[in-house]
Amino acid sequence: MAKRIVLDLDLCCGCRSCEAACRAAFKGESRIRHADVNGQAYIPFACRHCAEPLCVASCPVEAITINEKTGLVIRSSNLCIGCRSCAYACPFGVIDAPLVRHVSQKCSLCVDRDDGPRCVAACSSGALQFLSEEEIEKHEIGMRMQSKHRFFRRRA
Amino acid sequence: MKKIDPAFNYAKKLTCPFCSLGCEFNLILNDFGIKGVDYLKTGSSGGRLCPRGSAAALYLGHPKRLSMPMKKDKVIEWPKIAKELNKIFANPEKLAVTFDRNITNEEYELILSCCHANGIENVASCYLEPESALAEFATRNFDPGDLGSPGMVVVIGDPFNQSPLFSKYIIDWKMSDRKNRLIVIDSISTHTASFATEFIPVSIGAEPLVVYALAQEPGIKTEDICKVGGDCIKEIAGALKAAKSGLIVVSLPFGHIYDPGALADSLHTLASASGKNVLPLVEHIAPAGNIPFGDLLAKNKKGNLHYLMNFGELFPYYYPQLSLEFKFKDIYATSPLRQQEYNTIPFALNLEKSGTIHTNYGVKKLSGGIVPASGARTVHQIIEMLDIKKNGKATVRKYEVKYDRSARISTLMDKSTTAPKKKSMMLLGEKIAFDFMNIFEKEILKINPADAHENGLVDHETVTVESKRGKNEMEIKVTNTVPTGIIAVSAENAATRGLFDFEIVEGSVYFIPTEVQIWRKG
């Protein structure tokens, strides 16, 4: 099981360093999005790299595929025809519907970078972490979660 | 023939000069230019970077980078601009030399020594950001020992947005012990406020008054300026004094309060009353000049000064309301970006220079490991091309500012308790790191839902904002974080900054919360 980005809501200070890091690396396109919680906090959210992704199922040209080794859901910009099916199929709304250079934008967990995603490296308060499932189980962060599945939510 | 490998990237370690934390990062380059930034695992920030740091590569390769001197909108050759500068330096009594940010300590010294050698008396700092009032506190380094447990931290403003990297210290400290108290004082609800143990909402510009009240200064009716009673303020003041460890953190955005000078004085009072240190989080620490900038403006109005030469990044482009007051025959200013209304000289960013800068962790070295953008020159290179004397003393004559505390308190009480005129709103500045120089996004105007409803406005709508100083259009965001009667914006571009009114108080220029009117665009 590959590592995943985990957000510790208690630590997020809403500075959007993660979004800035993503935009700076991908020519102004942000692959991480934010939910504005009543102006009090910006909650970042990115692709969850689902086990059974609906974006993959919805893609008419098989531009989105799952890497069997790492479990990453990767979009090929060469194959993408910009139909937005993935954006509408994603139940979490993490794929932006507006196209950038005629293709959809989707987080790839910065596979091009050896030290993990840039948003995690940049996170100013340490709220974003890049952890494997075992680490999440052991980590305090896992204790705060309602679900130990990939779709983390905080306990109410 | 040797092939160039486009994938051959190399890294240069740089110090971020965009705020006083001075974080380190790697700039990734290859033979074709700047690729981006990468994050180190070491350094004062532990490799993390706020939006300003992440924007460094984009700022360095900004499409508006200036590469040739410009006479307003026309390109002018270097020898010609040197000739013009030699001419104005030949009349030292009619010349004012100013400086703002994006200058290294060594460059400041060179400017001051040149002015001394050439008999230029009118040397002023035109870094007119309110945080310049906090410069004296910034010379003391941050001591993590101030954040002990159990302890108390009083925060004025929104440091989580001003210097996000500092948030980790505060959040870790607060979560380490349930007894740790974080008190936030601000006129709008911010991200820092959402982490507070107790948030003290105050009326516009009343932060210095609450700080005076915490220092037990007599004559302040806290009930008039904040929604917290006098007993509560007394309890907090007592707890701060009694706390084993504690810190007073302050960040001050443009156009947020009426009197930054009073805030600096109130912080002195609170620091000595409570025995706790003050930590200012600022963008830049600039020295003062021979005279206050307000006095320089007055001299210009009398017709005694004909020319102005500025070294830096902000002036006069980012203070358009001041430009309307000028009576200079000619203004020459350095700038990293194209600014077509003025005579501009291409200027290197601190990221591209070698030298030192002041930070909250002491003096840090800039590596200067990268070549400045095409045409951009440092202060040394600009002064080198002029036929002027260069070896004077790098000293400034310190000016004394009279401070009448009781008069300032009563003026502030009046301003903070006066409601704006009917159909008007108060425009307040805030600092959002993500909006830095509008590199990622244009700033957004925050408005309370009740005010939006009254004006018939909806979320994301574009509105026109007009003050007596200027007019601008921007998108609104309807949010409960700003109280009714107030609209807040991060002033990161000239048009937005130009909306703010200013006051000259004992020589210091203060950009203040301003009465504005807003309506739907069109």
Residues B486, B508: Cα–Cα separation, whole Å: 25
A21 pLDDT higher than 90: yes
In this model, does residue A25 exceed pLDDT 60?
yes
The average pLDDT across B238-242 equals 95
- Min CA distance, A39 vs chain B (Å)? 6
Give the bridge partners for B346, in sequence order: B335
* SS3 track for B176-244: HCCCCEEEEEECCCCHHHHCCCEEEEECCCCHHHHHHHHCCCCCCCHHHHECCCHHHHHHHHHHHHHCC
Tell me what percent of the residues of chain A surpass a pLDDT of 70: 86
Whole-number pLDDT of residue A146: 40
| Rounded CA separation B333/B339 (Å) | 10
Question: Residue B7 pLDDT > 80, yes or no?
Answer: no
Residue A133 C-alpha, separation from nearest chain B C-alpha, in angstroms: 23
Distance in Å, alpha carbon of A62 to nearest chain B alpha carbon: 28
* Residue A153 pLDDT level (bands cut at 50, 70, 90): very low
Chain B residue closest to A20 (CA)?
A: B51
CA distances to B2, B309, B389 from B111, in Å: 45, 11, 11
Q: What percent of chain B has pLDDT over 90?
A: 67
Q: What are A82-90's contacts with CB under 8 Å, separation 24+?
A: A85/A55, A85/A58, A85/A59, A85/A60, A86/A55, A86/A58, A86/A59, A88/A58, A89/A54, A89/A55, A89/A57, A89/A58, A90/A54, A90/A55
Q: Measured between alpha carbons, how far is B357 from B380 in angstroms, rounded to an integer?
A: 16
Confidence at residue A10, expressed as pLDDT on a 0 to 100 scale: 77
Size of interface A-B (CB pairs under 8 A): 102
Q: What mean pLDDT is predicted for residues B114-137?
A: 91
Over residues B148-174, the mean pLDDT reads 92
- Angle, to 10 degrees, between the axis of helix B230-242 and the axis of helix B260-274? 60
Q: Is the pLDDT of residue A145 over 50?
A: no
Residues on B contacting A at a C-beta cutoff of 8 Å: 36-39, 41, 45, 47-51, 53-55, 57-58, 160-161, 164-165, 167-168, 171-172, 175, 189, 191-192, 194-195, 433-434, 440, 446, 477, 479-481
Q: Using CB atoms, pick whichever of A10, A38, A122 lies closest to residue B54.
A: A122
Closest chain B C-alpha to A116 CA, distance in angstroms = 11
Q: Virtual CA dihedral for B98, B102, B106, B107, nearest 10 degrees?
A: -40
Rounded Cα gap, residues B394 and A60, in angstroms: 70
Which amino acid, residue B410? S
How does residue B222 score in pLDDT terms, banded at 50, 70 and 90?
Answer: confident
Poorest-pLDDT segment among A7-11, B23-27, B321-325: A7-11
Give contacts of A38 with chain B, Cβ < 8 Å.
479-481
Beta bridge partners of A37: A41
Q: Is the predicted pLDDT of residue B64 greater than 80, yes or no?
A: yes
Q: Report, as an integer, the average pLDDT of B198-208.
A: 92
Residue A143, pLDDT above cutoff 60: no
Identify the band that residue B380 occupies on the pLDDT scale cut at 50, 70 and 90: very high
Nearest to A31 by CA among A40, A23, A39: A23
Q: Which residue of B54, B165, B192 to mutate against A (max A Cβ within 10 Å)?
A: B54
- Termini Cα distance of chain A: 28
The encoded tokens of residue B350 equal: 């601190």
Q: In chain A, what residues touch B281 (CB-CB under 8 Å)?
A: none
d(CA B493, CA B318): 7
Structure tokens at A117: 């995603």
Shortest alpha-carbon distance between residue B370 and chain A (Å): 19
B166 pLDDT band (50/70/90 cuts)? very high
- What percentage of chain A carries pLDDT values higher than 90? 28
Q: Supply the pLDDT for residue B425.
A: 93
CA atoms of A132 and A109, how far apart (whole Å): 13
Helix/strand/coil for B125: strand
Statement: residue B195 has pLDDT above 50? yes
Contacts of A36 in chain B (CB under 8 A): 479
pLDDT-derived band at B280, boundaries 50, 70, 90: very high
Interchain contact, A124 vs B191, CB within 8 Å: no
In this predicted model, which residue has the larger pLDDT, B473 or B230? B473
Q: Cα B481 vs. chain centroid, distance in angstroms?
A: 22
Partners of B175 on chain A (C-beta within 8 Å) are: 10
Residues B292-315 pLDDT 10s? 999 999 999 998 899 999 999 999
* Numbers of helices and strands, H then E, in chain A: 6, 8
* Residues of chain B with C-beta less than 8 angstroms from the C-beta of A130: none
Do the beta carbons of residue B106 and residue B409 sit within 8 Å?
no
- Locate the chain B residue with the closest alpha carbon to A123: B48
Is B395 in contact with B401 (CB distance < 8 Å)?
no
Is B54 close to A121, i.e. CB distance below 8 A?
no
What's A16's DSSP letter? Answer: -
User: Which of A23, A25, A41 minimises the CB distance to B191?
Assistant: A41
C-alpha distance from residue A112 to each of A5, A28, A131 (Å): 16, 17, 18
Residue A140 has pLDDT above 70, yes or no: no
Nearest by CB: A122 against B39, B440, B477: B39
Q: Are B447 and B476 contacting, i.e. CB atoms less than 8 angstroms apart?
A: yes
Least CB–CB distance from A25: residue in B36, B195, B434: B36
Q: Which of A94-98, B229-233, B369-373 has the lowest mean pLDDT?
A: A94-98
pLDDT at A142: 43
Residue B6: band (very low, low, confident or very high) from pLDDT cuts 50, 70, 90: low
Residues of chain B contacting residue A23, judged by C-beta atoms under 8 Å apart: 54, 440
CB B123 within 8 A of CB B291: yes
- Cα torsion B366, B370, B371, B376: sign: negative
Task: Identify which has the larger pLDDT, B417 or B85.
Answer: B85
At A156 the pLDDT is 28
In this prediction, residue B385 has a pLDDT band, given cuts at 50, 70 and 90, of: very high
Q: Which residue in B has a C-alpha nearest to residue A42's C-alpha? A: B191
Query: For the residues B70-83, what does the mean pLDDT come to?
Result: 93
Q: What is the DSSP letter of B275?
A: -
Under DSSP, is residue A4 helix (H, G, I), strand (E, B) or coil? strand
Q: Do B167 and A16 touch (CB under 8 A)?
A: no
Contact B102, B313 (CB under 8 A): yes
* Mean pLDDT within B278-296: 90
Closest in A15, A38, A40 to B164, CB measured: A15
Q: Which amino acid is residue B335, in one-letter code?
A: S
- Residue B506 has a pLDDT of 87
Give B60 to chain A, closest Cα distance, Å: 12
A24 and B57 Cβ atoms separated by less than 8 Å: yes
**Closest approach of A17 to chain B, Cα-based (Å):** 5
The C-alpha angle B474, B476, B480, rounded to 5 degrees, equals 150
Nearest-CA distance from B7 to chain A in Å?
12
A interface with B, Cβ–Cβ < 8 A, is 10-11, 13-17, 19-21, 23-25, 28, 36, 38-41, 113, 115, 118, 121-126
Min Cα distance A76 → chain B (Å) is 20
- pLDDT for position A154: 35
pLDDT at residue A141 in the model? 55
| DSSP per-residue letters across B496-522 | HHTTSEEEEETTEEEEE-EEEEEEE--
Q: Which of A91-95, B253-257, B337-341 has the highest mean pLDDT?
A: B253-257
* pLDDT band (50, 70, 90) for residue A1: low
pLDDT digits (tens, 9 = 90+) for B317-329: 999 999 888 889 9
Q: From chain B, pick out residues whose CB is under 8 angstroms from the CB of A17.
A: 48-51, 54, 164, 433
Cα distance between residue B433 and residue B89, in whole Å:
38
Q: What is the pLDDT of residue B323?
A: 86
Residues 6 or more apart whose Cβ sits within 8 Å of residue B473: B462, B463, B464, B465, B521
Interface test with B, best of A124, A128, A140 (most B CBs within 10 A): A124
CB contact under 8 A, A40 and B194: yes
In this structure, what are the phi and psi dihedrals at residue B30, rounded to the nearest 5 degrees? -140, -170
Q: Please tell me the distance from the alpha carbon of residue B238 to that of residue A134, in angstroms, as a whole number.
A: 47
Cα–Cα distance between B443 and B475 in angstroms, integer?
8
When CB atoms are compared, the residue of B48, B433, B481 closest to A123 is: B48
Residue-wise burial string across B398-412, b where 16 or more C-beta atoms lie within 10 A, e elsewhere: eeeeeeeeeebbeeb
Say what the pLDDT of residue B124 is: 93
Q: What is the pLDDT of residue B434?
A: 92
CA–CA dist B269, B137 (Å, integer): 13
Contact B479, A38 (CB under 8 A): yes
Long-range contacts of the stretch B32-35 (C-beta < 8 A, 24+): B32/B6, B33/B61, B34/B60, B34/B61, B35/B9
* pLDDT(A40) > 50: yes
Residue B392 has pLDDT above 80, yes or no: no
pLDDT at A147: 38
In the predicted model, is pLDDT for residue A155 greater than 50?
A: no
